[in-house]
Structure 1
Amino acid sequence: MNTTTPPLTGKLLIDTAMGSFLGDKRIRLLEAIHQHGSILQAAKAVPMAYKAAWDAVDDMNNVAPEPLVLRVTGGRHGGGTELTDFGRRLIAFYRALEQESQAALARLSGRLSQAGAPDVAEFRQVLRKLSMKTSARNQFGGPIGAIRCGPVESEVMLRLGPSLELTAIVTNESVQNLGLAEGREVMAFVKASSIVLLVGEAGTRVSARNQFRGVVQAIHHGPVNTEVTLDLPGGHHVLTAVVTDQSVARLGLAVGQPVSAIFKASSVFLVSTD
């Protein structure tokens, strides 16, 4: 009977100061974008759905300190997508780190095999539990610009860019538990269903703390609801809202249209990256 412990294998996931955002599949997507200059061809090469590819690109650009992918016009294919220099350097870093990671796993497998298979199985189970994901469509990373404490709750302002700020309301207890402080990097999550879209001139008075003016980048229709993605100022971040098909028709939403997105500070939840 063969009692040899199977070796540990794994795929590298990069965890930055602003959260986990880059793994094997996304790296292959970035490599395919660099090769084909087209998000459609890159999605086919991975393979993954076209919309899932765009969602991944938007998520990476939102979380990374610099854009990894840019939309271009008049490129190799008459327009499409291209990798930035930062994106190319990140791929090279990932592949080098991946080689070191696999070598480390091989050494660890050798040591664990001396303790027996049960230990390896136990470690695998723990790792699976730690691999959690969030259902929130929008995720952002950045440093805390300011914290304004009240009697029960605190207002936490996140700097997403030079002219882009996001505000969250959390309890004072959460501020202490998460160790929130000015300058600390955190992740902010917002459900797409929490976002309300307004069409018209900027400056509309609403009670919601977060108000962003953007341009409709894409509209994906579903059986009942529609997903609307906005390009935010600065060309780095995007915001996705889910609204009813009736709302899309009533607002006359179209790609390239200026739109305001609003959501309450209480709709934002924060995660410490340390």
Structure 2
Amino acid sequence: MSASPFIAHLSLESSVGAELTQTRIRLLEAIAATGSISQAAKRVPLSYKAAWDAVDQINNLSAQPLVARSAGGSGGGGTRLTAYGQRVVAFYRALEQHYQTTLDQVAAGLDEASRTEVADFRQLLLNLNWRSSARNQFSGVVEALEQGDVESAVVLRLDDATRLTALVTRDSAAQLGLAPGRAVVALVKASAVLIGTDPGLRLSAQNLWWGEVERVHEGPINHEVVLALPAGRRVTATLTATSSRQLGLVPGLAACACFSSASVLLMSAS
């Protein structure tokens, strides 16, 4: 138990704001211990859907997948941490321990007034913490930038197999400092993603990602469909229950996620 009146809750952020929180680390540790996303969710605790959403976002925003899912068979499917995921968890815990030790040492030299100011400062940081309701968040690097008179087409490299095209105004591109090599996060609302299953599908959308249906969360009006992409990322789409049934969307089915470059919101660190 820490001697400090303050308990360290470590939250790591990349240059583009992606978070690795204690809740997510505990989820990763529970996955490693149980080999099951449902059992891991109960340990945290999180809902089954919230656990999968967290895993999808972690994998999407990471240079390498932290969590891998094995296909079902005679022994059933399972979920495991990759070697990279194990190293990330170990690094986080080591850093957290050092963080708490430092906090204990600083707190030991504070008077009551100073401790109040520290608590106020911590609350300010929490209030400034950025959040997004976008279901799809992808970390990438600008690979190409085509400047137009009014708009700019931006191509992001998410991984060796996945590219994402975004269309932003020329002014926005300048404000974000977009240039080849710049790290950014791309946000895409699930409602902006269309799903198709016809291999001969021809659409004008610049982003066409083929993958496999991994999960379908059924609601009375809409279905939320999660596609697993070849490189380990996930993309989520929201479509009507009628459309989902007409397409026959079930786990294991090959499908294409389609979305316009104009529906992508980009964010970069200042």
TM-score under structure 1 length normalisation: 0.90
Give the match for residue 58 of structure 2: 60
Q: Please give the residue correspondences for 1:187-198 in structure 2 after superposition, counting only pairs within 5 Å.
A: 187-198=185-196
CA contact (8 A) 1:38 1:77 kept: no
Alignment of 1:222 onto 2:219: yes
- TM-superposition CA deviations, 1:3-28 (whole Å, max 9, x none): xxx94434111212453231111111
- 1:115 is displaced (CA, Å) by 4.9
Gaps spanning 5+ residues in structure 2: where? none
Give the match for residue 170 of structure 1: 168
For the structure 1 residues 215 and 16, does the alpha-carbon distance in structure 2 shift closer, same or farther, using more than 3 Å as the test?
A: same
Question: Residue type of the partner of 1:225?
Answer: N
- TM-superposition CA deviations, 1:237-264 (whole Å, max 9, x none): 1100001111111222121111111111
Alignment of 1:206 onto 2:195: no
Could you tell me how far apart the structure 1 residues matched to 2:61 and 2:262 are? 21
Give the match for residue 247 of structure 1: 243
Give the match for residue 256 of structure 2: 260
RMSD of aligned alpha carbons: 2.1
Q: Please give the residue correspondences for 1:62-77 in structure 2 after superposition, counting only pairs within 5 Å.
A: 62-73=60-71
For the structure 1 residues 200 and 76, does the alpha-carbon distance in structure 2 shift closer, same or farther, using more than 3 Å as the test?
A: closer
Question: Residue type of the partner of 1:239?
Answer: V
Could you tell me how far apart the structure 2 residues matched to 1:170 and 1:272 are? 13
Could you tell me how far apart the structure 1 residues matched to 2:123 and 2:43 are? 32
Gaps spanning 5+ residues in structure 1: where? 1-5
Range with bigger deviation, 247-256 or 124-133:
124-133
Question: Residue type of the partner of 1:35?
Answer: A
1:271 maps to which of 238, 243, 267: 267
The count of aligned residue pairs is 267
- 1:211 is displaced (CA, Å) by 1.2
1:26 maps to which of 21, 24, 27: 24
Range with bigger deviation, 237-246 or 110-119:
110-119
- TM-superposition CA deviations, 1:48-89 (whole Å, max 9, x none): 111111111111111111111111247996431111111111
Could you tell me how far apart the structure 1 residues matched to 2:109 and 2:264 are? 44
2:151 maps to which of 143, 150, 153: 153
Could you tell me how far apart the structure 2 residues matched to 1:221 and 1:111 are? 55
